[in-house]
Amino acid sequence: MAAGLAESATRPRYGSTLRVEMQADVRRLDPSERPTDAAEAAAKDKLETLVFERLVRLDENGRAQPALALSWEHDAAAKRWVFRLRAGVKFHDGTTLSPDKVVASLRPGGAWLASAGEGAVVIQSDLPEPDLLPDLAHPRQSIALRRDDGTLWGTGAFRPAGSETGRRLALTANEDYWGGRPFLDRITIEMGRAPRDQMLDLELGKAEFIEISPADVRTVEQRGMKVWSSAARDTIALVFERGRPAVEDPRVRQAIAFSIDCAAIHNVRLQRQGEIAGGLLPGWLSGYAFLFSKVHDPARARQLIARMEHPVPALALSYDALDPLARDIAERIAVDAREAGITIQVSTAPARSDLRLVRIRPGSLQPAAALADLAAFFHLSESVNLLPRSTHEALYHAERALLEDFRVIPLFHLPELYALSPRVKTWTQPGVSKSGEWNLEDVWIDVEKP
């Protein structure tokens, strides 16, 4: 990231095409649709931020910053919010952004309703809406102009080229972008590319922007490529399936938690990218993650297993077949568990698994909402009752309560990592934000000095 800023010493150039490759396969860019596949949903969010914008956006600290809304105000009870739109903003088809078009595009959540009035967008709720801004900053609240023929137009820095189909998406620069024309003329996105193919294409000069795993960071850097990363937003955790007799005994779960040598995995496989997770939320988001110590105690794990009345049957651990890093971590977990006397068979079939290795990204950058997201994902929400503005202490206790029965063992918090051609430069801001959004409108390609 720092390297990206330093590149601003070179004057940016307009033109060129940025070739992006990604593993997920996004079928359609439409903010109103939410894919069930988490990887596709995350990739879709990234691509949609290039085409569509929201009223506000969140900065690296989770604070709301102006986007299409230049300013906003609310009453003391936070029940009535007024958003004043940025002037001169046009959709890609030339239609001027107006409050009524924003209202038509917003998807009300909770108790609030949006309306156009006073030359602005008014959101009214019967209940206080203190977290309205993070909600409006979510990609699902992207502002889009939907024509009768189904065509969607956004206001973002790039617009769909329209001619690309299937697994290839092309975007062109929005000449009338309110923030100024992006440096890139065009962005092509190859979807459904395997990590190995992406790496090959990057090395062969067929791509400039690819996804990488932590295990590739050293290789990429040694080969003179650049690495961009988000904050460690993704949580990798071991989840014990409910209703599986083999893991119903908490001693089994605890023994496995004690057996895993997270430090070895972090040092070797993750190449020290991200952080070892004691809790569900990463430290940069919660601020108290250091209170969750990660204990690697194989002797204690063996003791727990030795004291059990019946031998522990072989357990099945499933992981995402498309994620090589997940496979490496799963195999190491199996090795560590074996040292503790527990046999774990690693597979990619989740149907019969006793435990799963999952990678989840909370939808919100607000700690309480993020914890609630994770708790819901892990089916732990019944035991936690969080208020939106809960204190750190309350969140900590809530999170500890969530984890005390070892139903979920957080392992790592990982950033999103991207490898880039050395020719890819940024002007004023990192190409990938802390929250993982792509800021490609500020990216340019140095064609003369690769």
Partner 1 sequence: MTFGVRLLVLVALTVTVSVATVTWVVSTRARRAFESLDDQRTEALISQFRREFASRGDEVVRRVEGIARSEAALRIAIELSRPGPDYSQFVNEAASLAQAHGLDFLELVSHDGAIVSSAHWPARYGYKADWVLEQADWNEAFLRSEELPNETALALMTVRTVSAGEKKLHIAGGKRLGQEFLNSLVLPAGMRALLYHNKQPGFDEKSLTGASGPVPEAGKLAPLIERVLSKGGESTETVDAREGPETVQAIPLAGREAKLLGVLLVGSSRRELASLVRRIRTAGMVAGGIGILLGVLLSYWVTARVTRPVALLAQGAQKVAAGDWSARVDVRSRDEIGELARAFNGMTQQLLEQRDRLVQAERVAAWRELARRLAHELKNPLFPIQITIENMQRAREKAPEQFDEVFRESTATLLEELANLKAIVGRFSDFAKMPPPQFETVDLNETLRRAVRLFEAQLNAPGRPPITPEVLCDDNVGSVRADPEQLHGALRNLMLNAIDAMPAGGTLTLRTRRQNGAVLLEISDTGEGLTPEERERLFTPYYTTKQNGTGLGLAIVQSVVSDHGGRISVESERGRGTTFRIELPTG
Q: Which is nearer to partner 1, 214 or 436 (CB)?
A: 214
Q: What are phi and psi of 34, to 5 degrees?
A: -125, 110
DSSP 381-392: GGG----TT--H
Residues 6+ positions from 231 with CB-CB distance below 8 Å: 60, 282, 284, 285, 415, 434, 435, 436
Which residues between 184 and 243 bind partner 1 (CB under 8 A)?
Answer: 218
Q: Counting runs of H as helices and runs of E as strands, what totals does the chain give?
A: 13, 23
CB of 334 to partner 1, least distance (A): 7
Task: Give the Å distances, CA to CA, from 66 to 58, 115, 198, 285.
Answer: 9, 19, 35, 21
168 scored as a contact of partner 1 (CB under 8 A) = no
122 scored as a contact of partner 1 (CB under 8 A) = no
Query: Which segment (86-94, 101-109, 324-332, 439-447) binds partner 1 by CB under 8 A?
Result: 324-332
Query: Which segment (125-133, 163-171, 173-181, 326-334) binds partner 1 by CB under 8 A?
Result: 326-334
DSSP 254-288: HHHHHH--HHHIIIIISTT-SEE-SSSS-HHHHS-
267 scored as a contact of partner 1 (CB under 8 A) = yes
Q: List, in sequence order, every residue forming a beta bridge with 226; answer none if it has no partner.
A: 420
Q: How far apart are the C-alpha atoms of 273 and 227, rounded to whole Å?
A: 12
Look at residues 230, 231, 235 and name the one whose alpha carbon lies nearest to residue 374.
235
- Cα torsion 424, 430, 432, 438 to 10°: value is -80
Q: Which is nearer to partner 1, 89 or 329 (CB)?
A: 329
Q: How far apart are the C-alpha atoms of 311 and 306, rounded to whole Å?
A: 8
CB of 267 to partner 1, least distance (A): 5
332 scored as a contact of partner 1 (CB under 8 A) = yes
CB of 328 to partner 1, least distance (A): 7
Q: Which is nearer to partner 1, 174 or 273 (CB)?
A: 273
Candidates 107, 168, 272, 379; binder of partner 1 (CB under 8 A) is 272
DSSP 426-448: ESSS-SB-TTS-B-GGGEEE-SS
Task: List b or e across 309-343, with b for residues whose CB sees 16 or more CB atoms inside 10 angstroms.
Answer: eeebeebbbbbbeebbbbbbbbebbbebbeebbbe
Query: Which segment (12-20, 112-120, 169-177, 266-274) binds partner 1 by CB under 8 A?
Result: 266-274
Q: Which is nearer to partner 1, 60 or 261 (CB)?
A: 261
Q: Is the dihedral of CA 65, 71, 76, 80 positive or negative?
A: negative
- Cα torsion 62, 65, 69, 74 to 10°: value is 70
Continuous segment of H or E residues that includes residue 121: strand 120-125
Q: Which is nearer to partner 1, 271 or 348 (CB)?
A: 271
CB of 268 to partner 1, least distance (A): 4
Candidates 74, 138, 233, 269; binder of partner 1 (CB under 8 A) is 269
328 scored as a contact of partner 1 (CB under 8 A) = yes
CB of 222 to partner 1, least distance (A): 9
Q: Which is nearer to partner 1, 270 or 374 (CB)?
A: 270
Query: Which segment (88-96, 148-156, 332-340, 362-370) binds partner 1 by CB under 8 A?
Result: 332-340
339 scored as a contact of partner 1 (CB under 8 A) = yes
Q: Which is nearer to partner 1, 185 or 331 (CB)?
A: 331
Per rule CB under 8 A, count of chain residues that contact partner 1: 16
Candidates 38, 70, 246, 335; binder of partner 1 (CB under 8 A) is 335
Q: Which is nearer to partner 1, 107 or 218 (CB)?
A: 218
Q: How far apart are the C-alpha atoms of 312 and 341, rounded to whole Å?
A: 8
Query: Which segment (93-101, 134-142, 259-267, 287-295) binds partner 1 by CB under 8 A?
Result: 259-267
Q: How far apart are the C-alpha atoms of 266 and 256, rounded to whole Å?
A: 17
Kindly give the residue spans of alpha helices, DSSP state H, lying in 307-428: 324-339, 367-377, 392-403
Q: Which is nearer to partner 1, 110 or 313 (CB)?
A: 313
Q: What are phi and psi of 397, to 5 degrees?
A: -65, -35
Candidates 10, 32, 96, 345; binder of partner 1 (CB under 8 A) is 345
271 scored as a contact of partner 1 (CB under 8 A) = yes
129 scored as a contact of partner 1 (CB under 8 A) = no
Report whether 272 contacts 350 (CB < 8 A).
Answer: no
CB of 200 to partner 1, least distance (A): 17
352 scored as a contact of partner 1 (CB under 8 A) = no
CB of 310 to partner 1, least distance (A): 20
Look up tokens 């931020």; give the residue. Answer: 49
Q: What residues make contact with partner 1 under the rule CB under 8 A?
A: 218, 261, 264, 267-269, 271-272, 328, 331-332, 334-335, 339, 345-346
